[in-house]
Structure 1
Amino acid sequence: MKIQVTLQYDNLKPADSLAPLMKEFSLMGLSAIQKNIESNVKPENAPLTKSVKQGDNTLRDYGKLRASLTARHSESEAVIGTKVPYARTHNPENGEKETVIRPKNAQYLCIPASPYTRTLFRRYGFSPRNVIDGLKKNGVSVYRPYRKGTSTRANVILAKEKDGQPKVIFILKKQITIPARPFMFLPDRVIKAMEKRAEDYCAV
């Protein structure tokens, strides 16, 4: 996913080289998109997400999305982009208002159930399988319980240490819906600043 800035100088006299200007534009664009991410793009996080993250920040958790942004330039263009796969989920390029996520190689999605699950991610690795395997290797019982009074499994995964109380670590879902939170754009003020800078740079 990327934003590309090109300069059309119909009414401007181009300087000997536009590369320095394109570099300025790439850094201006990078800063603007970083600020977009930092601005807590609406809508707000779901209550469970707020609880798990222990905060209200949208688009920010471990900082991977913001850190993935890159800026590059050439003689004729400036490009700001990211290769993080889930960027398109938050910022659909087709204009969709939401994205439905379904499991690809499993029956359910494993949704973190609490801040405790985040602690487990940091300890064992950032995937449900890493967490489950890590817990089992440490002698923790990990299981999907039955619904009370039935032979049907509940849609949760529990972890129970010896002599401890079971803790819900994952909630199982067939699908989840992620609302769009557009961040990959240049605000009007930045575009106007680029236009003014181009005029000054290319002035006779």
Structure 2
Amino acid sequence: MSFTADAVALGATIETSVEVSYRAIAGGTDRETLRALLQPKSGRSFTSKPVSVNVWHWYPLTAFDSYYATEGVADYDGNQFEMSGRTYISSWSTYGMARSWESRYTLGRNCTEMRGTFGVTDRSADGSSATVQVLAEGVEPIYISPELTPGVVDTEHTLLSSPYRISILGTNTSPDKVLAYPAAGDLQFLCHGLG
């Protein structure tokens, strides 16, 4: 932050500097306005010009309502499943007899990163396999998993080009009648301005 020329003109000097950490959690408009106050040992105090900053926060997928989902997608708060022996809560998973699943979400061009762990749930059959894809605007690949099998996960952290919408697609790539349930654990997006 900078101080006005008045402070220098009146002979204000800074003998020491102090670094201040300001930690804010995103919410509301995810925008903070900050000012610094210079209080010399003697003389007049000076206030900096206001500085406005965006506050970024990791939001779970469950912070976004799906506007489209096929039957067999579980993406709600409290959804719980196991993947590679670990329990995930409030993430994205699949169930049922389908061979493919899809859900779609509006991020509103407010998100620039994505992270999560991809695999198949521990309810998947031995010898099963699946893939998970995350697409921007329904067509642009953000993430395409390798073949996922029981006990194998792929953890990903990737940059986004501020997509308006994303789609998550899970596909059972196993032989017929072998059940696999693709999933994404701890799927989160780095965003601002969601309030």
TM-score range, shorter chain: under 0.3
Question: Higher helix share goes to which structure?
Answer: 1
- TM-score, normalised by the number of residues in structure 1: 0.25
- TM-score, normalised by the number of residues in structure 2: 0.26
